[in-house]
Structure 1
Amino acid sequence: MSQYKAYPAYKDSGVEWLGRVPEHWQIKRLKHIANVQTGVAKGKDNEGKDTIEVPYLRVANVQDGYLSLDDVTTIEIPREDLECYSLQPGDVLMNEGGDFDKLGRGSVWQGEIEPCIHQNHVFAVRPTAVPSAWLNAFTGSLAAQFYFMGRAKQSTNLASISSSNIMELPVALPPEAEMDLLLDLVDHETARIDALVAKKTRFIELLREKRQALITHAVTKGLDPNVKMKDSGVEWLGEVPEHWSKPISLLSLAKSEQHSFVNGPFGSDLLTTELMDEGVPVIYIRDIRASAYRRVSEVFVSPAKAEQLRFCNVLPGDVVISKVGDPPGIAAVYPAGEEEGIVTQDVMRLRVDEQQVEPDFMAMLINSDYGRFNISQVSVESTRLRVGLGDFKQLKFTIPPVVEQRMILAALQPMLSQIDALMDKTATSVTLLKERRSALITAAVTGQIDLREAV
């Protein structure tokens, strides 16, 4: 922000977290410049009433700065309630809560679906004395987020804010002409940043596709382009090297049938109250990436509890696999140097017989298009796609001899490491661009920088 100058004169806003604002700006509570409309709660008894089925926005539809309308569900409400709850163009949609990053995030409704209502976890803020674009920019700023977090009810990883607290939000307001100018300048700059983010995000997608193609080709065709081939029996897969095995089940590749394949403990076996800040680590789905295992969960159980759940322990060299997701069945090798842990109920552990298969090759095979196709054939849909342990054990794969697996890994892993490093570097630059975007909006709508003479 060093290229922008400050306003000539400031005054105390009277709001501690907002600090100083330009001398000629005003501070008004949201309730004086907008109305807050709460939404419809699901599960109401409408028996005997004249109802109508209408589209219904949920928290998942209201993203940070845009609306995701590819999956809009419907709900039945009394016809007489439609006018009360219908969205109007210019409404600023804001999430009441959820994960911390969802609190207060939103976008301006432009009348994309008519009619449309919103659930009770989404607020429709209807401006009466301020442009929707300004209100949306201010409520999405870091300053407003600080206010929301300070007023929210919080529990483990979740937060929610009431409509009464939303209405008390202090909003910084420049004169109308200046407000329009600032919005135009911010829109121009954020559009440039968004274009860069989109370009870099697409580059990451292309790298990910290249990575996937390299893996799939290596684990289904091998390294020798001149090797004699045979029909795989899978139409889309085509031929595989002739000397590779006939399709064999994962169960036959396990170190021992009894203990190699396990689920994590069910909820009744591992209670939330038993989770701790230190002890034996618990492995969650979010720790499992197709590129590698990366612990992002800092959740533990006591050594005594871990001993009770020893049947689902994880050691370095074990393959851990997600049971749910889109797609399910993402695999990673639990790396050397990690202490013994336990898996949750949505994670499977596979301990392979290293005389037959290398753990890294097994993870790569499961993550390949070949593996994903096989897993998709036994996945079932509940709230998310899920694969059961019994079905997973029976999946069959054609694999090379273990010596050839090691050769494939030796050839492939350096290339994958280069791709992963480039993806990480690009992802970091995307994060920095998004942070710059957020900082620019915050500085503009709180008067920290003077854009009136910006070119």
Structure 2
Amino acid sequence: MSYFAHSDELPDWAAKVPDGWGMDWLKWSVELSTKRPTESEQESLPYISNEDIASWTGQLLIEEPRPAEADSRVFQKDDVLFNKLRPYLAKVYHATFDGASSGELLCLRPSKVVEPRFLFYVLVSKGFIDAINSETFGSKMPRADWEIVGHQPLPLPPLETQQRIARFLDEKTARIDGLIEKKRALLDRLAEQRQALITRAVTKGLNPDAPMKSSGIDWLGDIPAHWEVLPLRRVLRSSTYGISASLEPAGGVAVLRMGNLTEGEIDFGDLRFLDDVDQNLMLEVGDVVFNRTNSLDLVGKAAIFRGGADFPVSLASYLVRFRFTERYLPEYSNFVMGTDGLLRLARTLALPSIGQANLNPSRYAQIEFPIPPVPEQAGIVSYLAEQIEKLRRVSERISQSLRQLTEYRAALITAAVTGQVADLA
């Protein structure tokens, strides 16, 4: 007799299934395949890693899988691969071909009592993922081993019902995914519109009839004839690197890292702290924080510090603080630093280092900036703040709709695989 016939300890997501459905430990209905590829298989089998699988949807993110690696596991068509590293990412793949996979992917081979596509939907359901995630080990890179995964409940309706549920979910999730993709495309277009709006305003001004002149700078092009162009060092009052120290989850002073710079603003989520920091390294309202060292695609990222925190704030060593003279408004500078043209220039100036790129002061200080009169800078900042807020409100409505669709998709899968959808049980 199944354990579940007399168990009152089922997790909530699987506690109520229709009469006539079975239920058992996952490990009794699937086989964990641990076969390693032979030398010839390693050369011939396509290889996928956990990074190649999209979260929640199970779609492959690569068009042509790579050749297999030595430390991999062989899988067959209709096996279901479950990512045991950071399982909250919900990376589950229903194999449509024979291949080899990363050792981080558990290769589960369905038995005759479970349909592969139904198994996929159970494993990618939010209830199952949450149950696995609650039992992981390791803080920085949480993992779930086979003992954790195998000792999860697996609803087992009749095979014909499993097939009907899988077909239903294939159809419904395809429609939902299509809507999600359209909304993400809308968000991308809004982001492009935002970038074009900023670039146009800070490099051409707000007067379309203003006489223009060549700036002599490739990324900047023509600018209003009455504007100046100066290297960054000419408009800086001071600049300084941040702190090189081991950071803690709590303390007296927040230390900004690269991840806290988001679309020109400071995000105070996921902060790290130190107990004591030199007063000269404390940020003041109007300081612009610039990322000088990181992977090349992140060099040049900047954000303005507007205050608003309940604690003093400093910055990490790979960031640099810019404090401007009265002739260059920090809000205007922050917009300029966010333009694609300046970012591309900054990244061409960055020197390669070990696994990183470094934009040192002798290089970033020479980057030339457009300098309108201060009243004009203020007008551009005011105009951009108003327009960007309008775009932000539109983006937030789309993002909210996107979140609702995503939540509905997850709830629908869990409901279907537990028999809570009418006419499918």
**Is contact 2:265-2:303 (8 Å) kept?**
yes
Counterparts of 1:183 and 1:31 in 2: how far apart (Å)?
Answer: 21
Residue 281 of structure 1: how far off its partner (Å) = 1.7
Match of 2:308 in 1: 337
Residue 376 of structure 1: how far off its partner (Å) = 2.5
Match of 1:362 in 2: 333
Match of 2:83 in 1: 95
Establish whether residue 388 from structure 1 lines up as the match of residue 359 from structure 2: yes
Give unmatched runs, 5+ long, in structure 2: none
Distance 1:53 1:401, change over 3 A: farther
Match of 1:162 in 2: 145
Establish whether residue 61 from structure 1 lines up as the match of residue 61 from structure 2: no
Distance 1:252 1:279, change over 3 A: same
Match of 2:19 in 1: 23
Counterparts of 2:251 and 2:419 in 1: how far apart (Å)?
Answer: 44
Match of 2:213 in 1: 230
Residue 39 of structure 1: how far off its partner (Å) = 8.2
Residue 313 of structure 1: how far off its partner (Å) = 2.8
Establish whether residue 440 from structure 1 lines up as the match of residue 412 from structure 2: yes
**Is contact 2:264-2:334 (8 Å) kept?**
no
Distance 1:276 1:251, change over 3 A: same
Residue 38 of structure 1: how far off its partner (Å) = 4.6
Match of 1:376 in 2: 347
Task: Determine helix, strand or coil for the equivalent of 1:125.
Answer: strand
1:291-348 Cα deviation digits (max 9, x unpaired): 532221243322x3x24xx454322211123343534322211113234212224433
Match of 2:103 in 1: 120
Match of 1:292 in 2: 265
**Is contact 1:443-1:449 (8 Å) kept?**
yes
Query: Number of paired residues?
Result: 412
Distance 1:447 1:408, change over 3 A: same
Counterparts of 1:370 and 1:140 in 2: how far apart (Å)?
Answer: 41
1:131-190 Cα deviation digits (max 9, x unpaired): 22111111111221132123210314x310112322222211111111111222222222
User: Which of 261, 266, 290 is residue 321 of structure 1 equivalent to?
Assistant: 290
Distance 1:72 1:333, change over 3 A: farther
**Is contact 1:39-1:117 (8 Å) kept?**
no
TM-score by length of 1: 0.81
Greater shift, 177-186 or 276-285, is seen at 276-285
Q: Show the 5 A alignment for 1:69-84.
A: 69=62, 76-77=69-70
Counterparts of 2:35 and 2:332 in 1: how far apart (Å)?
Answer: 50
Aligned-residue RMSD, C-alpha: 3.0
Residue 207 of structure 1: how far off its partner (Å) = 0.8
Counterpart amino acid of residue 382 in structure 2: A
Match of 2:161 in 1: 178
User: Which of 387, 401, 407 is residue 415 of structure 1 equivalent to?
Assistant: 387
1:389-408 Cα deviation digits (max 9, x unpaired): 43333322233222221111
Counterparts of 2:356 and 2:68 in 1: how far apart (Å)?
Answer: 24
Q: Show the 5 A alignment for 1:135-150.
A: 135-150=119-134
Counterparts of 2:41 and 2:189 in 1: how far apart (Å)?
Answer: 51
Match of 1:189 in 2: 172
TM-score by length of 2: 0.87
Give unmatched runs, 5+ long, in structure 1: 1-10
**Is contact 1:13-1:19 (8 Å) kept?**
no
User: Which of 233, 240, 244 is residue 261 of structure 1 equivalent to?
Assistant: 240
User: Which of 107, 113, 116 is residue 132 of structure 1 equivalent to?
Assistant: 116
Identity %: 26
Establish whether residue 211 from structure 1 lines up as the match of residue 207 from structure 2: no
Match of 1:251 in 2: 233
Distance 1:381 1:39, change over 3 A: farther
Residue 73 of structure 1: how far off its partner (Å) = 5.6
Match of 1:3 in 2: none
Distance 1:384 1:433, change over 3 A: farther
User: Which of 264, 267, 270 is residue 246 of structure 2 equivalent to?
Assistant: 270
Match of 2:203 in 1: 220
**Is contact 1:379-1:385 (8 Å) kept?**
no
Counterparts of 2:317 and 2:327 in 1: how far apart (Å)?
Answer: 27
Counterpart amino acid of residue 122 in structure 1: L
Greater shift, 237-246 or 49-58, is seen at 49-58
